[in-house]
Amino acid sequence: MTIAFDTRTGRLRLDQETFDCLVAWASGATEPGPRLTELRDAGAIRNGAPHPAVWPGLQAVTEPVCRLHLASIDDDGQSRSGDGWIASNAAALLLDAPDDMRELVTVHPTFLPMAIARVVRLGPHPRPGSDPLHLPRVVYDGLFAPDQGVRRRAAEQLSAGDAGDPPLGDVVEQLVTGPWRLWAVTLTWTTPQGEPAAQAIQVVATDAGLCLVDTGGQDATMWPTTATRVWRRLTLLLPDEVRAP
Amino acid sequence: MDFDDYRHPGTGCVVPLPPGWQRLEDPPPGIAVIAREPEAPAGFRANLVVNVDELPDGLGLDGWQDESDRLLREELPSYYLLDREQIRLAGRPAVRRLAHHAGSDTGPVTMEQWAIAVGSTGFTLTASVATLAYDSLADVFAEIARQFRPGPTSDEEAAR
């Protein structure tokens, strides 16, 4: 395990245990763990304090206004996740990196939509149509199974009815053959009134287009969408407590 | 929203401007109009810019816009293309793009662009806004683009 710290960008690559040690130390723990020496050697800690490029992010981790969770899975079953802590002046993202490492990225909260867009690779896609696809949850689960045969059988179930071709046929075919990526971002926080609050977005990206995915009920719905509409949703994710502190 | 139409005397293009937005007088050559919102609640003042370019011989809408993609990547810091589509605007083929860039003096900016080629003249309408304020102006920008009218072609001028 090698810690890598880029003083120019503030990106810090480390494993989860070292990150936990860094956070414990930043929170004032007297025995934060054995990894502090490596963090000092990498330059993430200097003169007894976190490097200025890391410090705002660490403060967000220790005193967040809002928590973020990001998860994605590809058609080959490869999953990736990220955690985030957002305060009024900084947001820290801890993202999965190769070799069981994680990467800590600190940005201003106004950059959070762009940071998410880069992670999920939001970009131009064909327009997939206009009608939503409502489907039973069991069929939905089959469409996103890691096994292509399971996905094919789920797609065949969709078209087996006598109601004609279902909407989003090209997207469904892409779900069977790949490539696709299903990703979700959830923000949670507590309102000034003490109530729990959340914002979430779930999107599937295929070469045939993008869909917003709603799995809130017993059934699932895939709503055809565009990168522009997804971007609008991302710019609205942050709670007012962070937008206007 | 009711817009105040501005007709550029040089090109004849008509740009609907939101009421109260400030139009800059005497913009630089190649720019028909610059207008910006009077206040900037998010720090960056949302603005509209209409560029008018003479297209090189043989360069159609797609070639022109591929070149624009390259220039935007080179010139705007942290440029990231979010969306691009072929549409029709003012009865003509057009390209619409959505992108993000960020500079030390601007912060994160969302930029929406519509480009139309009229003969050998290219019109580009660019709307920019602080990223967290994009949703509040996205529909306004789309309506401005819908009502935007490029200048007449030389053939249309000759027919008058």
**What ipTM was estimated for this complex?**
0.93
> What is the number of domains present in chain B?
1
**pLDDT tens for the 160 residues of chain B, in order:** 799 999 998 888 999 999 999 999 778 889 999 999 998 765 899 999 999 999 988 888 999 999 999 999 999 999 999 999 999 998 999 999 999 999 888 899 999 999 999 989 999 999 999 999 999 999 999 999 999 999 775 555 545 5
Residues 6+ apart with CB under 8 A from A67: A83, A84, A85, A86, A187, A188, A189
> What's the rounded Cα separation, in Å, for the pair B86 and B96?
6
Check if the beta carbon of residue A134 is closer than 8 Å to that of residue A218.
no
CB-closest option in A114, A123, A127 to B131: A114
Q: Measure A122 CA to nearest chain B CA, in Å.
A: 6
Residue A121 domain flag: no
Q: Give residue A162's pLDDT.
A: 61
Does residue A168 register a pLDDT over 80? yes
Q: Which residue of A has its CA nearest to B86?
A: A126
Q: Measure A228 CA to nearest chain B CA, in Å.
A: 6
**Which chain B residues are closer than 8 Å to A235 by Cβ?**
110, 131-132, 134-135
Confidence (pTM): 0.94
A206-237 pLDDT per residue, tens:
999 999 999 988 899 999 999 999 999 999 99
> What is the number of domains present in chain A?
2
Q: Give residue B125's pLDDT.
A: 98
Residue B156 domain flag: no
Give the residue numbers spanning the domain of B114. Answer: 4-151
DSSP 3-state percent helix, strand, coil across chain B (nearest 5): 25, 45, 35
Check if the beta carbon of residue A187 is closer than 8 Å to that of residue A237.
yes
Residue A214 domain flag: yes
Residue B39: which CATH number? 3.40.1000.10
**Which chain A residues are closer than 8 Å to B84 by Cβ?**
124
Tell me: do A230 and A157 sit in the same domain: yes
A121 lies within 8 A of chain B by CB: no
Least confident window among A67-76, A119-128, B148-157: B148-157
Please tell me the number of Cα atoms within 13 Å of A105 on its side-chain side. 19
CB-closest option in B83, B132, B135 to A227: B83
Tell me: do A138 and A237 sit in the same domain: yes
Helix (H) or strand (E) holding B63: helix B61-75
Q: Does A243 sit within 8 Å of B131, measured CB to CB?
A: no
Check if the beta carbon of residue A128 is closer than 8 Å to that of residue A171.
yes
